[in-house]
Amino acid sequence: MTFPRFFTAKQSLPSHRIDDVTAELTELFQAETAIEQIRPGQSVAIAVGSRGIDRIAEVTQTVVRLLVDRKAQPFVVPAMGSHGGATGQGQTATLAALGITPESVGCPIKSSMETVPIGKGPGGIPLSFDRNAAAADHLIVINRIKPHTKLDGSIQSGVCKMLMIGLGKHRGALAFHPAFKSFDYRLDRITADVIPTILAATPFLLGIALVEDAHDSIGQITVATADQLLDLEPTLLRRAIEWMPKLPFRTAELLIIDAIGKEISGTGLDTNVVGRKWHDKMAGDEEWPKIDEIYVRALTEKTAGNASGIGIAEYTHRRVAEGIDPVKTRINCITAGHATAAALPVWFDSDRDVLDAVCAQTPMEADRRRWLWIPDTLDLETIRCSEAYLEEARRSDQLEIVNDPRSFQFDDHGDFV
């Protein structure tokens, strides 16, 4: 079978990187009058999620230091719903994989799946909240603002969602995910009622909202009080969408992804990037890009076997099938109301076998095949493209062609070299 040749293209992605996040966060934190409520000896819970956010360990350590400077007693709580296999130990391990340990951030980690009831949401949705966080004198929530892989509206992934689901632990995730369909998957149709209830029933003090640029670097830090939260998140989401990297072409027959994982996206691969937010196997009418088929080559090490999102792909490698932790994966996907995201695609022993299968289904000249190859859906600066894209790439102001088209190189097993 003859495969297309590939050239490497580099996207021109603007940088908004804050080089010294410690200094920036320190200045913002100390300028916030709400911190005057923190008294010596008081406990402060710091909620941190499961995503691979840029310099998240440094951000957490900075918050810990600022609290210790005020003679408070900070501790970290995992705010990640059912992730980590829905166990306290598993969620501690998830934080450790992100570089967050008691030693690295300078305070204890209190990880438990125990929750306390704090009220009801629309339609009688029971509201649950992490017991350790609820018992603290104050609560600070750290999260990244970004488009969600399934939810829509002016509020998506961020501090509000972490208050509702991340800190709701497994019970909270089970309560909210089935309810989203009733609200057309628009989180902003729920937050107006739910967030004031949560804020009134918990010791929430501040949200630290992070927006990353197209290079996955923190480009904006915002410290929000309870009365600012619902107004600020939509503004920050618009910024996140504006900065978010995208594939440089609107269509592809095959997208090869080196790895997926929970630290990359809640669905392992970002559905906003691959154009599959509303349907696992195809783009919606108004959704771009339109990718015919996806091949996932591996799971990241940090995802620790959680293959949530693998069901969005058409093909995968044997090493993915053998590396899946079925318990973590099914708990996460079923709790999220997206059971098909755990479905195992057809798998092959080698990369060559996958490409043979793709070509056999759609016979055509190799130089006409529109294939793209990326490391993951966060890393979109350098992309390998089949030569069918070459003329389009030459005309683009956003792409620099790094090398001439080259043939695939395989090892003795048939995997890419």
Q: Parse the chain into domains and list their residue ranges.
A: 6-12+246-401, 32-243
User: What is the per-residue DSSP string for 79-120?
Assistant: --TTTGGGSHHHHHHHHHHTT--HHHHTS-B-----EEEEEE
Residue 110 CA to chain centroid, in angstroms?
Answer: 23
User: Which pLDDT band, with edges at 50, 70 and 90, does 370 fall under?
Assistant: very high
Q: What is the DSSP letter of 304?
A: T
Distance CA 246, CA 271 (A): 11
CB 300 within 8 A of CB 259: yes
User: Which pLDDT band, with edges at 50, 70 and 90, does 266 fall under?
Assistant: confident
User: Which pLDDT band, with edges at 50, 70 and 90, does 368 fall under?
Assistant: very high
Task: Tell me the one-letter amino acid at 264.
Answer: I
pLDDT of 198: 98
User: Which pLDDT band, with edges at 50, 70 and 90, does 66 fall under?
Assistant: very high
Provide mean pLDDT across the span 23-29.
98
Beta bridge partners of 347: 316
pLDDT of 295: 99
H or E stretch at 26: helix 21-31
Distance CA 331, CA 88 (A): 14
Q: Tell me the percentage of the chain whose pLDDT exceeds 70.
A: 100
Provide mean pLDDT across the span 278-296.
93
Is the pLDDT reported for residue 208 higher than 90? Answer: yes
Phi, psi (rounded to 5 degrees) for 96 = -60, -35
CB 229 within 8 A of CB 268: no
Largest Cα span, the chain: 72
Is the pLDDT reported for residue 284 higher than 90? Answer: no
Specify the CATH number for 32-243; select among 3.30.70.270, 3.40.50.11440, 1.10.287.130, 3.30.420.40: 3.40.50.11440
Weakest mean pLDDT among 175-184, 217-226, 369-378:
175-184
pLDDT of 179: 86
pLDDT of 278: 87
Q: Tell me the percentage of the chain whose pLDDT exceeds 90.
A: 88
Distance CA 190, CA 268 (A): 25
Per the prediction, the chain carries an average pLDDT of 96
Rounded-to-5 percentages of helix, strand, coil across the chain: 40, 25, 40
Provide mean pLDDT across the span 300-324.
97
Comparing CA positions, the residue from 348, 309, 347 lying closest to residue 328 is 309
pLDDT of 181: 84
pLDDT of 415: 98
| pLDDT tens-place string over residues 313-345 | 999 999 999 999 999 999 989 988 899 999 999
